[in-house]
Structure 1
Amino acid sequence: MEFFDFGTIFFLVAAAVIFYQLRSVLGRRTGNERPPQDPYTRPESDKQAAPENVVSLPRRRMGDAAPAPDYAAIDAVAPEGTPVNNGLRAIRQADPSFDPAQFVDGAKMAYEMIVMAYADGDRQTLKNLLSREVHDGFVQAIADREARGEKVQSSFVGIDKAEIVGAEQKGSEAHVTLRIVSELISATRNASGEVIDGDPEAVVEVKDVWTFARDTRSRDPNWKLVATEAEE
Structure 2
Amino acid sequence: MRFLRLRPAALRLMIGALFVAAGVLVASDFAEARAGRSMSFGSRGSRTWSTPAPTPTAPSAQPMQRSATPQTQSAQGARAPGMQSGGFFNRGGFMGGLMGGLLGAGIFGLLMGSGFFSGLGSLSGILGLLLQVALIFIVVRLVMGWMRARNQPSYAGGARPDPMARDALNRDAMNGGGAAAPRSGFGTGPRGKPIKLEGADFDAFERTLGEVQAAYSRADKAALATLLTPEMAGYMAEELDEMAREGLENRITDVKLLQGDLSEAWSEGDAEYATVAMRYELKDVTLDKATGRVVQGDPERTEQAVEFWTFARPPRGVWKLSAIQQG
Give the alignment's TM-score, normalised by structure 1. Answer: 0.61
State the AA in 2 paired with 1:166. E
- Residue 144 of structure 1 and its aligned partner are, at CA, apart by 0.8
Alignment CA distance shift 1:135-1:34 (3 Å): farther
Structure with higher strand content: 1
Contact 1:104 1:162 in 2 (8 A): no
Q: What is the letter of the counterpart of residue 247 of structure 2?
A: G
Question: Relative to structure 1, is the Cα distance of residues 35 and 119 closer, same or farther in structure 2, using a 3 angstrom cutoff?
Answer: farther
CA shift digits 1:169-228 (9 cap, x unpaired): 112311100111111112111244332211110000011111001121x7xx31111111
For the 8 Å contact 1:35–1:138, the answer to whether it is kept is no
Per the alignment, do residues 168 and 144 of structure 1 end up closer, same or farther by CA in structure 2, a change over 3 Å counting? Answer: same
Distance across 1 between alignment mates of 2:259 and 2:36:
23
The alignment partner of 1:188 has SS state of strand
Q: Residue 38 of structure 1 aligns with which residue?
A: 42
Whichever of the two has the greater Rg, that structure is: 2
Q: Please identify which structure carries the higher helix content.
A: 2
Quick one: structure 1 residues 31 and 157, their matched pair in 2 at CA, closer, same or farther if it must change by over 3 Å?
A: closer
Counterpart code for 1:38: G
Q: Residue in 2 aligned with 1:208?
A: 307
Residue type of the alignment partner of 1:80: N
| Cα deviation, residue 112, structure 1 | 0.5
Q: How many residues align?
A: 163
The separation in 2 between residues aligned to 1:136 and 1:77, in whole angstroms, is: 35
Determine if contact 1:74/1:85 at 8 Å carries over to the other structure: no
Equivalent position of 2:195 in the other structure: 91
Deviation at 1:152, TM superposition (A): 2.2
**Structure 2 runs not aligned, ≥5 long:** 1-31, 44-166, 183-189
Give a deviation string over 1:130-151, Cα, whole Å, max 9, x none: 1111000011111111111102
- 1:83 is displaced (CA, Å) by 5.0
Decide whether aligned partners of structure 1 residues 80 and 32 sit closer, same or farther in structure 2, where only a CA change above 3 A counts: closer
- The SS at the match of 2:273 is strand
Provide closer, same or farther for how the CA distance between residues 114 and 152 of structure 1 changes in structure 2, counting only shifts above 3 A: same
Asked whether the 8 Å contact 1:35–1:141 carries over to 2, the reply is no
> Among residues 205, 212, 222, which one is paired with 2:318 in the alignment?
222
Q: 1:147 is matched with which residue: 230, 245, 258?
A: 245
Match for residue 236 of structure 2 among 125, 138, 157 = 138
**2:201 maps to what in 1?**
103
1:166 to 237, 247, 264: 264
1: CA distance, partners of 2:35 / 2:312: 24
1:80 to 165, 175, 179: 175
Query: Distance between the aligned counterparts of 1:73 and 1:204, measured in 2?
Result: 27
Deviations along 1:35-78, whole A, 9 cap, x unmatched?
76116xxxxxxxxxxxxxxxxxxxxxxxxxxxxxxxx9875242
Q: What amino acid sits opposite 1:84 in the alignment? A: A
CA distance in 1, matches of 2:283, 2:169: 34
Q: Which has the higher contact order (CA 8 A, sep 6+)?
A: 1
1:200 partner SS: coil
Whether the 8 Å contact between 2:213 and 2:252 is mirrored in structure 1 is: no
**Contact kept in structure 2, 1:36 and 1:138, CA below 8 Å:** no
Structure-2-length-normalised TM-score = 0.44
Report the 3-state secondary structure (helix = DSSP H, G, I; strand = E; otherwise coil) of the residue aligned with 1:193. Answer: coil
The percent of aligned pairs where both chains have the same amino acid is 22
Cα deviation per residue 1:105-143 (whole Å; 9 max; x = unaligned)?
211001100111112101111111111110000111111
- Corresponding residue of 1:10: none
Distance 1:115 1:32 in 2: 10
State the distance in 1 between where 2:323 and 2:314 align: 15
Q: 1:197 to 1:83 in 2, by over 3 A?
A: same
| Cα distance in structure 1, aligned partners of 2:256 and 2:300 | 15
State the alpha-carbon separation in 2 of the partners of residues 74 and 182 from structure 1.
Answer: 17
